[in-house]
Amino acid sequence: MSGTAVSRPGPGRPRDPRADAAILTAAVDLFVERGLARTSIEAIARRAGVAKATVYKRWSTKEDLLAEAIERARDDIPALDEQDPDVPPAELIEAMLPRWGAALADPRYRALTARLLGAGPDHPALLDIYWNHHVVPRRERARAVLRRAQEAGALDADADLDMLIDMLLGAMIHHLVLEPGSSRPDDHAAYLRRLLRQAGLAIGAGVSPAQRS
Amino acid sequence: MSGTAVSRPGPGRPRDPRADAAILTAAVDLFVERGLARTSIEAIARRAGVAKATVYKRWSTKEDLLAEAIERARDDIPALDEQDPDVPPAELIEAMLPRWGAALADPRYRALTARLLGAGPDHPALLDIYWNHHVVPRRERARAVLRRAQEAGALDADADLDMLIDMLLGAMIHHLVLEPGSSRPDDHAAYLRRLLRQAGLAIGAGVSPAQRS
């Protein structure tokens, strides 16, 4: 890491992208394994194989580092962002189901969600950063797709979209954190299909794994 | 506590109800303040003003003790259990809104929920006990009321009740743990009313606090 040790201080300092990636990976791994209270900058540096000073050059608190690390890990979850306006919104959502099912079946994603929700009482700043940087933009994209669904007649024109998004995200959190989990992506995709149908979205009933086998 | 120190071992041993109450209160207080990882039987005994042995006489692990303590604390939340079958189900639910609003406005309830969800990765047994003892019976009561609402024509006869309950509980968890909280019970009651209406339950729109002021 000595190659990055230039004298200029602060955020203008050149970064070593490999070190940054190793630090972000170590941070989210430790957070998933241990939770925030037992994840220190020192432990993150050790796991990443860099000096503590290398971490502090880029992040001043572990909350800032973890917020960025969690955001990156969450970015692996496919979002409704690459939208083709010619695709009907219900089809667009339906096409995402296998990928979302795979995300929900991942025990790491489950643990990350539980850790994040549990961090609120001790580390409200972490939850605030996550909410503002990650959740708010995704809610806006979801709202845009649901509004398109309303215009296309695939969702009740009177639906309270903000409340509907709370119900959809809430059911997913409930399913992920509280319900005994299946490791089969298909089961989770089938759950999401039931959820979207109960939410009033006009998508097909699909074939349940039970019917198929 | 020496009065309870009889020689008979195990669960048949007479209990000191005041000591039990003090232990359960201390356990839930410490859990809310610190989380499970930093709540030991020793700290609970110290806070309750009893000997560690007094705690171990009744509970063999801190997970068992905390599960019972959390259940008791959660029991303060009014449940849909004292049902008068002559009251229409939508009215029954509507009548609970002020009390549920007060529960959601309580920062202690918010912290308890976050701690409980966050305990999953390290203490799955705690979440399992909570799920089986607390959540499952409440879900069954909610399902019975929603089925009555279907029969009374106050809810779509085709509604997927289990999914609807996931959506209702999920939105409440999302609202409680992730959304910036208001301390006004009225705001939370208004949120619940919007939630129930979007869920398809035929209850009145109410008067929003904004309209009232």
SS3 A11: helix
Which of A72, A87, A109 lies at the terminal end of a domain, its last residue? A72
For residues A102 and B94, what is the distance between their CA atoms, to the nearest angstrom? 38
Q: Is the dihedral of CA B195, A111, B60, B30 positive or negative?
A: negative
Q: Which residue has the tokens 């690459």?
A: A82
pLDDT by residue (tens digit) across A76-122? 777 766 567 778 888 888 888 999 999 999 988 889 999 999 988 88
Burial of residue A6, with CB atoms counted within 10 A of its CB: 0-12 exposed, 13-18 middle, 19 or more buried: exposed
Which of B52, B72, B92 lies at the terminal end of a domain, its last residue? B72
Query: Which candidate from B111, B167, B175 shows the least CB-CB separation from A198?
Result: B167
Q: Which residue has the tokens 């933009």?
A: A137
Contact A160 B38 (CB under 8 A): no
Instruction: Indicate whether A198 belongs to any domain.
Output: yes
| Residue A10 contacts B where some CB pair is shorter than 8 Å | no
Print the domain residue range for B171.
Answer: 78-205
Question: What pLDDT is stored for residue A135 in this prediction?
Answer: 86
Residues 80-99 of A with CB under 8 A from B: none
For residues B186 and B56, what is the distance between their CA atoms, to the nearest angstrom? 42
With beta carbons less than 8 A apart as the criterion, state whether B198 and A164 touch: yes
Q: Please tell me which residue of chain A has the smallest CA distance to B108.
A: A121
Instruction: Indicate whether A211 belongs to any domain.
Output: no
Total count of domains within chain A: 2
For residues A107 and A185, membership in a common domain is answered with: yes
Contact A198 B163 (CB under 8 A): yes
For residues B58 and B82, membership in a common domain is answered with: no
| Residue B126 contacts A where some CB pair is shorter than 8 Å | no
Kindly report the backbone phi and psi dihedral angles of residue A83, in degrees, each rounded to the nearest multiple of 5, phi listed first: -100, 130
Q: Please tell me which residue of chain A has the smallest CA distance to B190.
A: A163
For residues A25 and A33, what is the distance between their CA atoms, to the nearest angstrom? 12
* Domain CATH code at residue A107: 1.10.357.10
For residues A116 and A175, membership in a common domain is answered with: yes
Which of B25, B43, B72 lies at the terminal end of a domain, its last residue? B72
With beta carbons less than 8 A apart as the criterion, state whether B69 and B154 touch: no
Contact A160 B114 (CB under 8 A): no
Instruction: Indicate whether A209 belongs to any domain.
Output: no
Q: Please tell me which residue of chain B has the smallest CA distance to A190.
A: B163
Select, from the ranges A178-187, B137-146, B190-199, the one with the highest average predicted confidence (pLDDT).
B190-199
Vertex B197 angle, CA B196 and B202, to 5°: 100
Instruction: Indicate whether B25 belongs to any domain.
Output: yes
For residues B86 and B183, membership in a common domain is answered with: yes
* Domain CATH code at residue A29: 1.10.10.60
For residues B43 and B82, membership in a common domain is answered with: no
For residues B97 and B83, membership in a common domain is answered with: yes
For residues A105 and A126, membership in a common domain is answered with: yes
pLDDT by residue (tens digit) across B41-76? 999 999 999 999 999 999 999 888 998 998 888 777
Question: What pLDDT is stored for residue A37 in this prediction?
Answer: 82
Helix axes B17-34, B62-74, angle to 10 degrees: 90
Instruction: Indicate whether A47 belongs to any domain.
Output: yes
Q: Which residue has the tokens 């020192």?
A: A42
With beta carbons less than 8 A apart as the criterion, state whether B119 and B196 touch: no
Contact A197 B166 (CB under 8 A): no
Question: What pLDDT is stored for residue B197 in this prediction?
Answer: 95
For residues A31 and A111, membership in a common domain is answered with: no
**Residue B181 DSSP class:** P
For residues B48 and B129, membership in a common domain is answered with: no
For residues B49 and B54, what is the distance between their CA atoms, to the nearest angstrom? 10
Q: Please tell me which residue of chain A has the smallest CA distance to B170.
A: A170
| Residue A152 contacts B where some CB pair is shorter than 8 Å | no
Instruction: Indicate whether A180 belongs to any domain.
Output: yes
Letter for the amino acid at B49? Answer: G
| Residue A118 contacts B where some CB pair is shorter than 8 Å | yes
For residues B174 and B112, what is the distance between their CA atoms, to the nearest angstrom? 14
Provide the residue count of chain B. Answer: 213
For residues A95 and A112, membership in a common domain is answered with: yes
pLDDT by residue (tens digit) across B178-205? 886 788 999 999 999 999 999 999 988 7
For residues A44 and A119, membership in a common domain is answered with: no
Q: Which residues contact A33 (CB under 8 A, 6 or more apart)?
A: none
For residues B99 and B40, membership in a common domain is answered with: no
Letter for the amino acid at B75? Answer: D
More confident residue, A77 or A210: A77
Task: Compute the nearest-CA separation of A168 from chain B (Å).
Answer: 7
Contact B166 A160 (CB under 8 A): no
| Residue B208 contacts A where some CB pair is shorter than 8 Å | no
Instruction: Indicate whether A194 belongs to any domain.
Output: yes
Q: Which residue has the tokens 């449940």?
A: B79
With beta carbons less than 8 A apart as the criterion, state whether B171 and B193 touch: no
Instruction: Indicate whether B212 belongs to any domain.
Output: no
More confident residue, B211 or A47: A47
